Structure 1
Amino acid sequence: MELDEVDERLVGALQRDGRSSYESLARLVGLSRSSTQARVRRLLDEAGLRVVGAIHPAVLGMHQLGHVIVETDGPAGPVAQAVAALEETSFVTTTAGRFALTAELRSADMDAYARGLARIQAVPGTRSVQVMTYRQIWKDPYFPPGPLQSPGPLDGLGLDGPDRALLERLRVDGRASFADLAGVSGLSSGATRARVLRLLDAGAVHVGALVRLHPVGRTHTVGFALTVHGAVEPVAQKVVELDEVDCFATGMGWCNGIGTIRAGSPAEAFDTLERLRAESGVRTVEAWTHLRAVKEEHDLARPITGVTVGDGPLPVTS
């Protein structure tokens, strides 16, 4: 399905706020409410756009995150499928460039993280694995920026059964109505609305169009890794100012920072890479193109049960 400029603007708006009202979306694109609603419905039904609630890793008790790149002996497909089958991986893509595939790991602690890396290294066909362990997320459309730590800012949120039910429903359908959400939470519509706004404001969940690994329309997705001279923070502050940089994290390992560019054309992606290369403090830039998504955000499939958050474990309900 070919998307026009209006469709692209709607996708961008829904990525930023998947629960935007049709009225606000209509004002953004200059169409009537009914035309805008029809456009969004077409994106959902025909273009494969998904609007979901991405759960912050800390809500699932995961505080250790990182990125791995894998070189393979032979075809990358079987290795990517095996890596995607590991519960520690949150997304996996095959790539064009020096690497065969990339993946993100999410684990509760360093011990679990190390076990996940060992499992990737043991996958038949894996030649080498290079790792960057995240210390700080600077920009991400799905999570609030900040250092990764435990205890963290979400640990005092004190999620209960209704919160858990709301998160379960939102991650399947981010645009579910408050009436629908009230039905699963067991609360009144007013109380449900307040709960949802609290979860959104706290950063426990971000509702947005899921386009990082399954781009809709003409978007080109390019990964990049930076090494820097001296301090990382000043470089990171400049990198995240670039509109085309979709996400960026810094940490320890084979590079100092790793991120994703989402651009409308190969030329635009190249221009962004050139701006990164020209940035003061940047030593090297390595880039690759994401070709195929093998696994997406694994919180879509992982039940939010028995996870300790805030004042105690989330209750398990039938």
Structure 2
Amino acid sequence: MPSRPGKSEHNGLLDDTSKAIIEQLQQDGRRAYGAIGKAVGLSEAAVRQRVQKLIDNGIIQIVAVTDPTEVGFARQAMIGIRATGDLEPISDALAEMDEVDYVVITAGSFDLIVEVVCESDEHLLEVLSKRIRSIPGVTSTESFVYLRLRKQTYSWGVR
């Protein structure tokens, strides 16, 4: 897996103009580069080049965000995981699973937290029992099954 640049390596990419481009894309990920250029004072070509650099450096992704229940995934859950030993190989194994869309190493009562999207309760049980709990180092899990999604946003701006 290629390493991602650290924060200090991103500083050159995140000047005020790049931050303004990011804010424009957070408002509408399909906004035309020409329109973004007018808003931030750059040419369409310059915006295109900056956006590509931001994507290439892992600072932004441009994707369609769906409601999982509307595209065939009836069950979502957050799973708190307690583990022993090095957490990096465990987080790598979790990140490789198609059903896992979020992995974070945490401080607190859980060592890792993952979000999973599954087709059914049976699918969730299989992912949890046969795959997550079988990862070496995983000692216990606690599941938080989603009943209703009330808010999900990705437009927190930039600093």
TM-score between both structures, scaled by the size of structure 1: 0.40
Tell me the distance in 2 between the aligned counterparts of 1:67 and 1:127. Answer: 17
1:133 counterpart letter in structure 2: V
Q: Which residue of 1 aligns with 2:152?
A: 140
Tell me the distance in 2 between the aligned counterparts of 1:74 and 1:99. Answer: 13
Q: Find the residue that maps to 1:51 and give its secondary structure.
A: coil
Tell me the distance in 1 between the aligned counterparts of 2:45 and 2:95. Answer: 40
Q: Find the residue that maps to 1:70 and give its secondary structure.
A: strand
Give the length in aligned residue pairs.
147
Displacement, 1:78?
Answer: 2.4
Displacement, 1:134?
Answer: 0.9
Q: Find the residue that maps to 1:65 and give its secondary structure.
A: strand
Instruction: Return the index of the structure with the highest Cα Rg.
Output: 1
Tell me the distance in 2 between the aligned counterparts of 1:81 and 1:37. Answer: 32
Cα distance, 1:88–1:69 mapped onto 2, change above 3 Å: same
Displacement, 1:54?
Answer: 3.8
Deviations 1:31-50 (A, max 9, x none): 34344334323323456533
Structure 2 residues without counterparts, runs of 5 or longer: 1-9
1:31 counterpart letter in structure 2: L
Q: Which residue of 2 aligns with 1:117?
A: 128
Tell whether 2:39 aligns with 1:28.
Answer: yes
Q: Find the residue that maps to 2:147 and give its secondary structure.
A: strand
- The structure whose residues are more often strand, as a share, is 1
Tell me the distance in 2 between the aligned counterparts of 1:86 and 1:43. Answer: 26
Structure 1 residues without counterparts, runs of 5 or longer: 143-242, 245-261, 265-318
RMSD: 2.8
Tell whether 2:138 aligns with 1:126.
Answer: yes
Q: Find the residue that maps to 2:136 and give its secondary structure.
A: coil
Tell me the distance in 2 between the aligned counterparts of 1:62 and 1:32. Answer: 41
1:132 counterpart letter in structure 2: F
Tell me the distance in 1 between the aligned counterparts of 2:98 and 2:49. Answer: 38
Residue among 70, 75, 79 paired with 2:90: 79
1:27 counterpart letter in structure 2: K
Calculate percent identity across the aligned residue pairs.
Answer: 27
Which residues in structure 2 correspond to 1:197-216 (within 5 Å)?
A: none
Tell whether 2:55 aligns with 1:44.
Answer: yes
Q: Find the residue that maps to 1:80 and give its secondary structure.
A: helix
Does the Cα contact within 8 Å between 1:84 and 1:91 map onto a contact in 2?
A: yes
Deviations 1:142-191 (A, max 9, x none): 7xxxxxxxxxxxxxxxxxxxxxxxxxxxxxxxxxxxxxxxxxxxxxxxxx
Cα distance, 1:115–1:37 mapped onto 2, change above 3 Å: closer
Displacement, 1:130?
Answer: 1.9
